[in-house]
């Protein structure tokens, strides 16, 4: 379906130059002189190549309709992840780069939402939060106030994050999967 370029949002799938692209980022730029335009960073679904494209806000683009379907993560197979359909128990194999920076947050039996366009997977969404253990945490510096000071820490999956000073190595915390930021202590 056709839509105006200024309505493009991250996560949408569009068709441009005869190829399918998933939108990674979009930004509306209003220069001091002239009309506004939208700059879109997008990834080719077949090759994985990234590109930037600019459109005037009044231009139209072809947006593809996506269907969301839930899958369960099974295991890694080299450069691919294997997902299982919980209803039919069929397996789906997807390249790991479809997850991008969120790959380290993938956990066994995790429920994932997969975006499909005409049966082809074009995107994977992880749950918004995961619980992980802190493997390393810097010691607390005396005299710092607890309100604004955070210290670096290493999560069990190898991702670095910033945590409040009262968090120690060995504790389990909840982090966001989109930016690896601290949410709270785990309640388990």
181-188: Cβ within 8 A, 24+ apart: 182/150, 183/129, 186/131, 188/131
The residue ranges of every structural domain in the chain are 1-61, 65-123, 127-183
Whether 74 contacts 51, CB under 8 Å? no
The answer to whether 1-61 and 127-183 have equal CATH topology is no
pLDDT tens readout for residues 14-70 = 888 888 888 888 888 888 888 888 998 888 877 778 889 998 888 888 888 888 889
CATH of domain 127-183: 2.40.50.140
pTM: 0.67
Q: Tell me the DSSP string of 90-110.
A: -EEEEEGGGTGGGGGG--TT-
Top-level CATH class of 65-123?
mainly beta
pLDDT tens readout for residues 107-161 = 888 898 888 877 777 778 888 899 989 998 887 766 665 556 788 899 998 889 9
Pick the CATH number of 1-61 from 3.40.50.970, 2.30.30.30, 2.30.40.10, 2.40.50.140: 2.30.30.30
């Amino acid at each position: 379906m056709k839509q105006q370029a200024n309505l493009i949002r991250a996560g949408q799938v569009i068709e441009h130059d005869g190829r399918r692209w998933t939108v990674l980022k979009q930004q509306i730029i209003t220069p001091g002189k002239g009309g506004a335009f939208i700059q879109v960073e997008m990834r080719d679904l077949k090759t994985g190549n990234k590109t930037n494209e600019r459109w005037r806000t009044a231009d139209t683009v072809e947006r593809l309709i996506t269907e969301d379907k839930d899958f369960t993560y099974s295991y890694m197979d080299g450069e691919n992840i294997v997902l299982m359909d919980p209803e039919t128990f069929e397996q789906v194999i997807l390249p790991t780069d479809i997850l991008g920076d969120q790959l380290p947050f993938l956990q066994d039996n995790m429920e994932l939402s997969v975006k499909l366009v005409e049966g082809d997977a074009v995107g994977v969404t992880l749950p918004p939060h995961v619980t992980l253990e802190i493997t390393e945490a810097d010691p607390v510096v005396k005299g710092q106030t607890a309100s604004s000071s955070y210290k670096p820490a290493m999560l069990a999956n190898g991702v670095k994050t910033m945590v409040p000073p009262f968090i120690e190595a060995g504790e389990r915390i909840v982090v966001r999967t989109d930016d690896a930021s601290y949410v709270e202590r785990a309640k388990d």
